[in-house]
């Protein structure tokens, strides 16, 4: 009976290990994001910056609260970068940025972390997101925003 209990326990542990493989996001550097497979979930650290042009590329009205921003490697805005797709909010919702005016600058960016804390583009972020390879270059769709 004890042997049967041990076998059941080991089988359960093995199934749990096998089922959990691949579910945790991989931690990658900014320059490694586009090397990941499509829909791969990743953790990446960097600084959120507006694109050179504040004009948003809206393809449909549902995208009116989505922003294409850059996640850059260094606080100076230099180094590797990746385009991120991030949701906007008018009510300080977690894991989003506050809605931006039609024409905005670096100083207008207000970021709401998963804990509800509001930070600026000067703060280093830990982004959890999914790699979208349907566009060139790839895009990281933001799911969660934290500070390291």
In a domain, 83, yes or no: yes
In a domain, 7, yes or no: no
Q: Which residues contact 123 (CB under 8 A, 6 or more apart)?
A: 47, 111, 147
**pTM tops 0.85:** no
What CATH number is associated with residue 76?
Answer: 2.40.50.200
125 pLDDT higher than 90: yes
pLDDT computed for residue 95 by the predictor: 97
CA distances (Å), 16 to each of 4, 7, 22, 111, in order? 18, 14, 12, 36
In a domain, 8, yes or no: no
112 pLDDT higher than 90: yes
Give just the sign of the alpha carbon dihedral 21, 38, 144, 146. positive
Give just the sign of the alpha carbon dihedral 34, 35, 41, 44. negative
Q: Which domain holds residue 105?
A: 25-146
Q: Band of the pLDDT at 22, cuts 50, 70, 90?
A: low
What would the mean pLDDT of 52-73 be, rounded to a whole number? Answer: 70
Lowest mean pLDDT among 53-67, 91-105, 120-134: 53-67
CA distance linking residue 80 with residue 64, whole number of Å: 27
50 pLDDT higher than 60: yes
In a domain, 16, yes or no: no
69 pLDDT higher than 80: yes
In a domain, 11, yes or no: no
What would the mean pLDDT of 123-136 be, rounded to a whole number? Answer: 93
In a domain, 33, yes or no: yes
Residue 2 φ then ψ, to 5°: -65, -40
CA distance linking residue 54 with residue 96, whole number of Å: 17
pLDDT computed for residue 72 by the predictor: 96
In a domain, 128, yes or no: yes
Number of domains in the chain: 1
- Tokens 């609260």 map to which residue? 65
């Amino acid at each position: 009976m004890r042997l049967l209990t041990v076998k059941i326990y080991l089988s359960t542990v093995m199934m749990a290990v096998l089922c959990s493989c691949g579910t945790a996001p991989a931690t990658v550097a900014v320059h490694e994001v586009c090397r990941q497979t499509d829909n791969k979930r990743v953790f990446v650290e960097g600084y959120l910056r507006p694109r050179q042009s504040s004009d948003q590329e809206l393809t449909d009205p549902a995208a009116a609260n989505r922003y294409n921003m850059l996640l850059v490697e260094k606080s100076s805005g230099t180094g590797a970068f990746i385009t991120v797709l991030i949701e906007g909010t008018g009510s300080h919702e977690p894991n989003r940025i506050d809605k931006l005016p039609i024409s905005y600058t670096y100083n207008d960016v207000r970021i709401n972390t998963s804990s509800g804390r509001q930070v600026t583009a000067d703060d280093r972020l830990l982004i959890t997101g999914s790699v979208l390879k349907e566009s060139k270059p790839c895009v990281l769709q933001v799911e969660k925003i934290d500070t390291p």
